Amino acid sequence: MTTNPPAGSPDKEPATEAQAEQNAVGNADQATTPTATAPKPDEAGERPSLGRAFLDNLWAANTVTVTVLALVLAMVIGAILIIVSDPEVLATYGYITARPADAMNASWSVVSEAYANLFKGAIFDPQAFSDWLNGDAGWQAVLGPISETLTYTAPLAFTGLSVALAFRGGLFNIGAQGQAVIGVILAALAGFLLPLPPVLHLLVALLAGAAGGAIWGFIPGILKARTGAHEVINTIMLNYVAVYLLSWIIVQSWVQNPTRSDAISRAVDSSAQLPRLLGSGLRVHAGILLAVLATWFVAWLLNRSTFGFELRAVGANPDAARTAGISVTRTYVLIMVIAGALAGLGGANMVLGSTADALTPQVAAQIGFDGILVALLGRVKPWGVLLAALLFGALQAGGNRMQSYSGISLELVTVLQALIVIFIAAPALVKAIFQLRAARAARLQTSLAKGW
């Protein structure tokens, strides 16, 4: 039986000279100084206040900051283009060294007037509100700008969701334009060929538009899944087929308006048209409600459903998804079918809503191609896409007033849209211009958790 040696026993190993010196210094410090306290957290590393952390993150390179600054850059470049395109303003720069105030005042006047009309046409017109208060105009004039913005937003939301959904699945759906055109065709045909009661007629016409887009999306989807044919090439070619099919079908005797000699179809029956939300004086219709519902559905599909998980897995790495037992072939086909149905609903909005009530060669406009821009601006996230569609709808509605009241070409609005997308798609450029720091979301979250 062994026992531990007592303290100070010779069996204990003697301390080294260095250890003895350290112990001596420590004992001396304890004898001559008061009891030491642990350093406070602020002394070890000062923690910033919540306000400071918020400002740091506000100027950091996060998604919101980059998006807002991209809009600012686009507006600045747009202002320069407005100045350059105005001959009278440009003439004042010929003698800027002699009278610089003339050039500055003229530039500010034309730019401020243009952007003021952009705001008045898209969101709110103070003069209309004042007239309504004075009894000189009705309330419809006050809500007119919002009505126009929402009218342009609805179809863009559908085509933007179509492109975004395909993006999340690893596919580049350039064919939203063609899918929307086929949706327009079938929705219009159902709208004036089928004699149905009002509510049922509208539902059938919407389903016809969705089915047309789904069929046009199924073709590149099955080709991609079965043969590996690239969806970009297939969808671009199908866009041309859809446009020429529209031009051909309009002039058929059973489609063309018998009272017209130009290329226009019969009008869609009123029973198949989307109801207007704010009365006959304003164009906004129930399509915007369908767009919000579709946005919720796509968000649920991506984030809450089994198919959404499979879709994101295939989009991230199809080989790994295949190894995990996910059918990549089935997923590709379903992605394009659902994306096509969404684009088809966007096309149906163009002919069943208040934009038009008959088929024309340009009835679908460019909503499919604009949907690509909307999806990119919305970061291919459903609710982001809806907000991006709202922004593009506002630019379109405000651009119409800017052209009418300021004489600015409507093409300038297209340039603004393109500039916004360029800066959004190149965040490194925005970061370099504004010298943004790296986003530090974790630091802000820590400050929020700890309090002030």
Torsion of CA 424, 430, 434, 436, to 10 degrees: 90
Domain that holds residue 217: 157-388
Q: Is the pLDDT of residue 417 over 90?
A: no
Dihedral sign (CA 119, 123, 126, 128): positive
Query: Residue 262 domain-assigned?
Result: yes
Between residues 251 and 44, the one the model is more confident about? 251
Q: What is the pLDDT of residues 265-312, one digit of tens each?
A: 999 999 999 999 988 789 999 999 999 999 999 999 999 999 999 999
Kindly state the tokens that stand for 183.
């949706």
Residue 296 lies in a domain: yes
Q: Which residues 6+ apart lie within 8 Å of 3 measured at CB?
A: none
CB 229, CB 248: distance < 8 Å: no
Query: Could you tell me if residue 140 is inside a domain?
Result: no
Torsion of CA 386, 392, 395, 397, to 10 degrees: -70
pLDDT of residue 9: 46
Count the domains in the chain.
Answer: 1
When mean pLDDT is compared across 177-186, 213-222, 365-374, 427-436, the lowest value belongs to 427-436
Task: Report whether 153 contacts 393 (CB < 8 A).
Answer: yes
Average pLDDT, the chain: 83
Q: What is the pTM of this model?
A: 0.80
Examine residue 301 and state whether it is found in any structural domain, yes or no: yes
Evaluate whether residue 182 is within a structural domain: yes
Q: Is residue 250 part of a domain?
A: yes
| Domain-embedded: residue 419 | no
More confident residue, 45 or 207: 207
Contact assessment for residue 158 and residue 346, using Cβ atoms and an 8 Å cutoff: yes
Residue 111 lies in a domain: no
Torsion over CA: 72, 73, 74, 76 (sign): positive
Q: What is the pLDDT of residues 356-411, one digit of tens each?
A: 889 999 999 899 999 998 998 888 999 999 999 999 999 889 888 888 777 777 77
What is the arithmetic mean of pLDDT over 137-144?
87
